[in-house]
Amino acid sequence: MISRNEAFELLKKYNKDPFHIQHALTVEAVMKWYANDLGYSDEEEYWGIVGLLHDIDFELYPEEHCIKAPELLKEAGVSEDIIHAVCSHGYGITVGCGTTIDVEPTREMEKVLFAADELTGLIWAAALMRPSKSTKDMELKSLKKKYKSKGFAAGCSREVIERGANQLGWELNDLLDKTLHAMAASEDTINEAMLAG
């Protein structure tokens, strides 16, 4: 299996925008948090690597998101199970070039990635609106308010997030609550990593 550092180097080969790096580190941390929460502690690093690599093709090939990824990952020797997981986070989504991604998330890890990815974007947008610019002092109540407000972070699809919760058989509130906790727990470490460059 690709190591965590090799995965990080691979991410940086195709992604230069700090916003994309930060998003990848966030989804990595959230995936690791969920691995522990859901009883997969022995797969923590594996879940994290999937999170780190999930948007590998987005910066350079936004119109072919989840379509170009297998090529980039295969070339780097990444295994098929990771490639499947990466592609499955686009399941049912029609990307810019007009193709609808048909790789279905089947493993619990893949369903978590699908559900949490879009939501981390919304939570981070909500954090930036706060005086603290942080998730650490954000309450579920205020996140729910932002979530319901249609004008807020309109680019973060509530339909995708809700489909994600359904795929897991979770209440939306649980997904919001857990993902907020996961982000608050990792925020300082990610900020430090971003500053370190």
Binding residues for Fe ion restricted to 112-131, rule: CB under 5 A:
117
Question: Which is closer to Fe ion, CB of 20 or CB of 142?
Answer: 20
User: Contact between 55 and Fe ion (CB under 5 A)?
Assistant: yes
Stretch that binds Fe ion, among 6-14, 50-58, 70-78, 160-168 (CB under 5 A): 50-58
Q: Are 90 and 65 in contact (CB under 8 A)?
A: yes
Q: Minimum distance between the CB of residue 187 and Fe ion, rounded to whole angstroms? A: 17
The span from the CA of 151 to the CA of 173, in Å, is 20
Output b/e per residue, 61-75; b: 16+ Cβ within 10 A: beebbbbbbbebbee
Q: Minimum distance between the CB of residue 131 and Fe ion, rounded to whole angstroms? A: 27
User: Contact between 28 and Fe ion (CB under 5 A)?
Assistant: no
Question: Which is closer to Fe ion, CB of 63 or CB of 131?
Answer: 63
Stretch that binds Fe ion, among 47-55, 102-110, 141-149, 173-181 (CB under 5 A): 47-55
196: tokens are 């370190």
| 77: Cβ contacts below 8 Å, ≥ 6 apart | 2
Q: Minimum distance between the CB of residue 88 and Fe ion, rounded to whole angstroms? A: 12
* 184, 36, 74, 167: CA torsion to nearest 10: -80
Q: Minimum distance between the CB of residue 113 and Fe ion, rounded to whole angstroms? A: 9
Q: Minimum distance between the CB of residue 171 and Fe ion, rounded to whole angstroms? A: 23
User: Contact between 110 and Fe ion (CB under 5 A)?
Assistant: no
The span from the CA of 188 to the CA of 197, in Å, is 14
Residue 156 DSSP code: S
The span from the CA of 148 to the CA of 66, in Å, is 28
Binding site for Fe ion (CB under 5 A): 55, 117
